[in-house]
Structure 1
Amino acid sequence: MTSENLRIDLHSHTRASDGKLTPQELVMRASNRQIDVLAITDHDTTAGLAAAEQAIVEQNSRTRLITGVEISCKWHSFDIHVVGLAFDQSHQGLQDFLSEQQRRRDARAEAICKKLEKNGLEGAYEGSKALAKGSFSRSHMARWLVSKGHVASMDAAFKRYLAKGGKAYVANQWHSIAEAVAIIHAAGGVAVLAHPSRYSMSTKWLRKLLVEFSEAGGDGMEVVLSQQGSTERDLLLSLASQYQLYCSLGSDFHHESQWVDLGKNLYRPDGCRWIWQSPRWQEEL
């Protein structure tokens, strides 16, 4: 079977970060959704990969698992995410890098929760931390805020408390894009700019981001997403071509919803140079 006939999803999450399914459950869902190639890209951790690999064997799944991670980066005032794919997860330098990311993530989470508690929301740290089965993120804090009735929705939690301008916002201290790309390459993988149209920036700033990502050695960008109109997809395809980046695709699946599921609406347009065609990509599809 050629790659043109494969159902491919290169962006998904498990409970190792802020997804709602265990790695075993995600593998089962991928099989049920007839996904041929799946990358698990948890935030700043590869902790779910071993369990997913074991589940592939135990479930006799036809899904091929690609190593993945989604690395949080600081760029100007933006939180930018770089997805690493098809790397050696045992690479010590990469694991040291991710361990440092987790230390920074935990410190930020604690600072945010202290601000929440100063706003009268007692028990924010313990309650949010209890929801995190793995990497602790703002998504867990948002879920806690909703569960306690402090806000009506996840979006409201971010707008009122957690996003930039919110009452409990704390700026990130992530590594740079260049550092993330370099460590992914050191581990033998490819570096992909995640969901470039989702950063609430102007096209002018997006072009500036793509210039710097390319100059840092970035390999590709996500062009195809589950929730996406044709105009957005065409713009991203044009930008990928202009900045000589390979195209990637992924649902960014965290949990089942009406709009997002593994492999859902991942239409592949003509004219793409796909990330698995990059000379750095060493996996067989």
Structure 2
Amino acid sequence: MLIDLHSHSNASDGQLTPEELVVRAVNRQVDMLAITDHDSVDGLAQARQVIIEQELKLTLINGIEITTNWLNHEIHVVGLNIAPDNEALLTLIETQKDKRESRAVEMGRRLAKAKIPGVYEGAKALAGEGAITRAHFARYLVEIGAAPTFPKVFDKYLSRGNTGYVPHNWVSMEEAINVIHLAGGQAVLAHPNHYHLSNKWMRRLFTEFKQADGDAMEVAMGQQSPQMRLQLAMWSKEYDLLASQGSDFHFVGRWRDLGKALHLPDIAKPVWFDWPSYLLLSEKKEVIL
């Protein structure tokens, strides 16, 4: 059974619509997909409607990826099996939306001051109705030739200490975990190895995430060495966190795609181990995990 529990639509910074995303998941032979847009649940209803109308053989997991502040580090927490209409969750989303907008305006102002005008407006156009993110700024800066690639844009303009960087003011990691639980979901620490933390700080993050009642951590990702996957699995066991997996899909690319190279090491305990059985059954009604 192919499970992908981290993906993005254009309700945040993904490039596919929710319809295109679920259709691609089916074409990629994904059996279960979580749509986890940044601080947004706007794409979930459309995705579910498409699955019903087109009778797609895909189990959709309601998800979200909440951007948080932990000791001045931007840490992402995925919520799985959330109730999208939960009042506490919707309130948090509105708070995050306001923070994103204020940050985006200030990023645009700083870039304009550095003689790169119109970046906020360009990023906003790319975001459309979705939550605006630094990825939209990066896409626009690449389009206008300010830098050749996403990494170069971040290195030159959008990372800490550079012209377009604006410090974040997100909700706390503890608050995000609490709201995910209030919405009936499981809180998953997203892509731990993406934060460029030392082992000492990584261990502190795991400890405090667990102390805040976090449920799981992402262990398997598409672009990842076998050694890193095994290390994350060992940490998940050491800190008594369940293990999740996801492509963190944003767009069709050479190295990352829905469901690509996703499997957990044997020592990891899957985040879905106690999910309702109907979510985990094959067409033959046999549990194949």
Give the Å deviation of 1:186: 0.4
Shift of 1:241: 0.5
Alignment-derived partner of residue 199 in structure 1: 195
Write the letter of the residue equivalent to 1:14.
S
Counterpart of 2:287 in structure 1 is: none
Change in 2 beyond 3 A, CA 1:57/1:168: same
Check whether the contact 1:227–1:260 (CA below 8 A) recurs between aligned residues: yes
Q: Deviations over 1:165-190 (max 9, x none)?
A: 21121110100110000000001000
Aligned to 2:211: 215
Contact 1:79–1:172 (Cα < 8 Å) also in 2: yes
Residue equivalent to 1:169: 165
Verify: 1:89 aligned to 2:80, yes or no: no
* Contact 1:84/1:184, CA 8 A, preserved across alignment: yes
Amino acid aligned to 2:4: D
Q: Deviations over 1:67-100 (max 9, x none)?
A: 0000000112311000000011111111111111
* Match for residue 29 of structure 1 among 6, 24, 33: 24
Consecutive unaligned residues in structure 1, runs of 5 or more = 1-5
> TM-score, with normalisation over the residues of structure 2?
0.94
Contact preservation (8 Å) 1:246, 1:278: no
Q: Give the whole-Å Cα distance in 1 for the aligned partners of 2:54 and 2:190.
A: 30
CA shift, 1:282, in A, is 9.3
2:122 is aligned with 1:131: no
Whole-angstrom distance in 2 between the partners of 1:101 and 1:162: 19
- 1:148 matched to 2:144? The reply is yes
Partners of 2:265 and 2:136 in 1: how far apart?
A: 35
CA contact (8 A) 1:28 1:59 kept: no
For the residues of structure 1 that align with 2:124 and 2:174, how far apart are their CA atoms?
30
Query: For 2:243 and 2:124, how far apart are their aligned partners in 1?
Result: 36
- Cα distance in 1 for residues equivalent to 2:165 and 2:15: 24
Q: Is the 8 A contact 1:86 1:282 kept in 2?
A: no
Determine if contact 1:74/1:174 at 8 Å carries over to the other structure: yes
- CA shift, 1:284, in A, is 3.1
Kindly provide the CA deviation profile for residues 187-228 of structure 1, in whole angstroms up to 9, marking residues without a partner as x.
100000000011011111000000000000000000000001
Give, in whole Å, the separation in 2 of the partners of 1:278 and 1:212.
Answer: 24
Paired amino acid for 2:6: H
Residues 114-166 of structure 1 deviation map (CA, whole Å, 9 limit, x = unaligned): 10000000111111111112110110011111111111111111111111121
Aligned-pair identity (%): 46
Contact 2:158 2:164 in 1 (8 A): yes
* 1:77 correspondence with 2:72: yes
Where does residue 286 of structure 2 map in the other structure?
none
Shift of 1:268: 2.3
Letter in 1 for 2:35: I
In structure 1, the residue matched to 2:15 is 20
- Tell me if structure 2 keeps the 8 A contact 1:251–1:260: yes
* Aligned positions, number: 279
* Residue aligned with 2:220, SS: strand
Distance 1:82 1:283, change over 3 A: farther
Deviation (angstroms), 1:276: 1.2
Q: Name the CA shift for 1:277/1:267 in 2 (closer, same or farther; >3 Å).
A: closer
The TM-score normalised by the length of structure 1 is 0.96
- C-alpha distance in structure 2 between counterparts of 1:152 and 1:87, whole Å: 38
Counterpart for residue 177 of structure 2: 181
Aligned equivalents of 2:190, 2:145: Cα separation in 1:
32
Local SS of the residue matching 2:260: coil
Q: Does 1:107 align with 2:96?
A: no
1:57 corresponds in structure 2 to 52
Amino acid at match of 1:155: P
